[in-house]
Amino acid sequence: MSPKEAISVLFKSCNELKLQRETWCAAAVYFHRFFEQCSSSIAYDANLIAATCLYLASKVEEDKINIRNLIAVYYSTMHKERGEEKSLDSLQEYLCLKESIVRCELLVLRMLQFNLNYEKPHKHLRFYLTSLTAWLGKDRQIISRLSHNSKAFLNDFYRSPRCFHFKINHIAIAVIQFALECNQIKVPYDEKARVHWQQALCEDITEEIIETIIQELCRVYEIYVDLSKFVESDAYENTHCS
Amino acid sequence: MESRFADKNTGKHYEEVALIGSGAYGTVYKAKDLSKEGQIVALKKIRVPLTEDGVPATLIREISLLKQLENYNHPNIVRLLDICPGKKVERERLLILYLVFEHIEQDLATYLENCPSPGLGPDKIKEITYQLLKGVDFLHTHRIVHRDLKPQNILITSTGQVKLADFGLARIYAPSQALTSVVVTLWYRAPEVLLQSSYASSVDIWSCGCIYAELYRRKPLFCGHSENDQLTKIFEVIATPPESEWPKEVSLPWNAFAGFKGKSFESLIPEITPDALNLLKKMMTFNPSKRISAREAIKHFYFEEYELYPPEYENNNDNDYNIICNQKTRRNFRFHSDFQSAN
């Protein structure tokens, strides 16, 4: 399986395991960093790496998961992705998978040079949304749609292998802008404003940066929508089914 | 340790040169980094027990915290250059990790030993103490308590730059892993630690105070050989605190140490100036909640002159920092830019 598909399984497993969004995000960043770092000549098992990254992220984020649960959920999710219904029954296979993850953990740690700190954009997003919604008036529906969509976009953005190349506050601003555009919401008086809301919230952001991030996000949707395996994803549900 | 080891993932290559020392927690080697033209580094070897669930979560968090601190490049913190996994001892489920630090030849203990009479002089003492407190403040800001500050793990470069080492490791090595029966020195321990009461970042300030006094004396301030003896030596100087300040949950009763009148720090350090004495007393306060913090200590009027002209370091090409000692040239040179930034 390619990294692209493994990240899909990773996100679905996170959902199944009811992990915090910050943990999803950290796991995805480790995963992308790993594949950027490693030389392409060695074929790593993307699923093993993804499961290990998830395990590491749960340790770092103190979002504890039992390794047995992790393996069972990842296993069945992976098979579902391939269109099979299969759960992990063999003890032999379980022990083998567990051993692989424990061994792989060291490899991932080394590859990431033990640097597992990644600040997550979620609190920036929350803060920006609170500031912005004060401007948008009292329409509850609009506000909840905006916040729901931007959170979903943020989450999906971490499927992009380039996600960790951007500053987290820039990502937060860009997903809000994208959510505003998708819902055709205008920030009142923004056209006349000397300082636009983007700069008001985040000083060093430029239109180019926002544009690049949105393009990257659109690329994610192209890839995963084409695969027609994207139906379960948050944003797809929200923007297309509601 | 094998005398040479390489990491095939990163192409790093280290060759052991000499054993520097073995502390309570592990061994330190002087080594050459063969991938960097034999640059001398300090290798600290730690042994991590692998559990059923792989690498312990606490270790992962601590190490990535150390890595994160590197991003700040703080001048008074020893550089952590790399982390290398060594051979894994499969049967014992033991992981060996080498923490690769920059190597600095001299620690504060040898620096003081080699210092000729009549001692360091007040300016040098101030400069060292200031840098020490700067480093401690940086650690405390990042929620790290050093817990074992002593002249042996304070490094000082040939240009007089002070760098803290061995921080954040106390939690990495579990106490059960203490490999040798090396006696851990009590001399810099805060009273609340000796009393086994709860403690916080203020324990580091106590240690700084002891070291500060030692800079004047060129010998330790309190040399106890047991917890009790250490406490006695402390109270002989700072006097027994009132019973109301004695921590409640400790096994040693206040009575056991009652009646010490204390003596003045001046009698121990005759050459100390009033400003310096004022700071020292604030650092050597029995009650941890009344003890001065690192941040406050830096702003103490003893360091007033640094407010405008802090000791400065210049980064030269060898990745080494140099302290600019010539205050006069610096003043002339920096006046204009200082003035601008003040606006």
- pLDDT tens string A67-104: 999 999 999 999 998 888 888 888 999 999 999 999 89
Lowest average pLDDT, out of A166-180, B202-216, B324-338, goes to: B324-338
A45 lies in which domain range? 3-111
Q: Give how many domains chain A has, as a whole number.
A: 2
Rounded to two decimals, the pTM is 0.75
Question: Cβ contacts (< 8 Å) between A95 and chain B: which residues?
Answer: none
- Does the ipTM surpass 0.85? no
Domain end marker among A46, A80, A111: A111
* Interface membership of B10 toward A (CB under 8 Å): yes
Q: Write the DSSP symbol of residue A227.
A: T
Q: Do residues A128 and A234 share a domain? A: yes
B148 is catalytic: yes
CATH number (domain holding residue A212): 1.10.472.10
Q: Do residues A49 and A103 share a domain? A: yes
The correct answer on CATH 3.30.1360.30 for the domain covering B11-103 is: no
CA B127 to chain centre: 15
In a domain, A201, yes or no: yes
Question: pLDDT above 90 covers what percent of chain A?
Answer: 56
Q: Do residues A127 and A106 share a domain? A: no
Question: In this predicted structure, what is the pLDDT of residue A55?
Answer: 95
Question: How many CB pairs below 8 Å do chains A and B form together?
Answer: 52
Domain end marker among A111, A131, A149: A111
HEC sequence for chain B: CCCEEEECCCCEEEEEEEEEEECCCCEEEEEEEHHHCCEEEEEEEEEEECECCECCHHHHHHHHHHHHHHCCCCCCECCEEEEEEEEEECCCCEEEEEEEEECCCCEHHHHHHCCCCCCCCHHHHHHHHHHHHHHHHHHHHCCCCCCCCCHHHEEECCCCCEEECCCCCCCCCCHHHCCCCCCCCCCCCCHHHHCCCCCCCHHHHHHHHHHHHHHHHCCCCCCCCCHHHHHHHHHHHHCCCCHHHCCCCCCCCHHHHCCCCCCCHHHHCCCCCHHHHHHHHHHCCCCCCCCCCHHHHHCCHHHHHHHHCCCCEEECCCCCEEECCCHHHHHHHHHHHHHHHHC
- CATH architecture of the domain B106-312 equals Orthogonal Bundle (1.10)
Please report where in the chains the tokens 């590859």 appear, as a residue: A111
Q: For chain B, which residues make up each domain, given as ranges?
A: 11-103, 106-312
Best mutation target, B7, B64, B89, to test chain A (most A CBs within 10 A): B64
Q: Do residues A63 and A129 share a domain? A: no
Q: Give per-residue pLDDT as tens, B1-54.
A: 445 666 554 556 888 888 887 765 668 888 888 888 888 999 888 877 777 888
In whole angstroms, what is the distance from residue B198 CA to residue A118 CA?
A: 32
Question: In this predicted structure, what is the pLDDT of residue A241?
Answer: 38
Distances (CA, A) of B326 to B76, B267, B309, B312, B337: 20, 33, 11, 10, 18
Question: In this predicted structure, what is the pLDDT of residue A86?
Answer: 86
Q: Do the Cβ atoms of B63 and A56 come within 8 Å?
A: no
Q: Do the Cβ atoms of A106 and B88 come within 8 Å?
A: yes
User: Chain A residues within 8 A (CB-CB) of chain B?
Assistant: 55-56, 59-60, 62, 64, 67, 101-102, 105-107, 109-111, 113-117
Question: In this predicted structure, what is the pLDDT of residue B325?
Answer: 34
Residue B151 in this model has a pLDDT that exceeds 60: yes
Question: In this predicted structure, what is the pLDDT of residue B336?
Answer: 36
Q: Do residues A27 and A131 share a domain? A: no
Residue A176 in this model has a pLDDT that exceeds 70: yes
Average of per-residue pLDDT across B87-103? 79
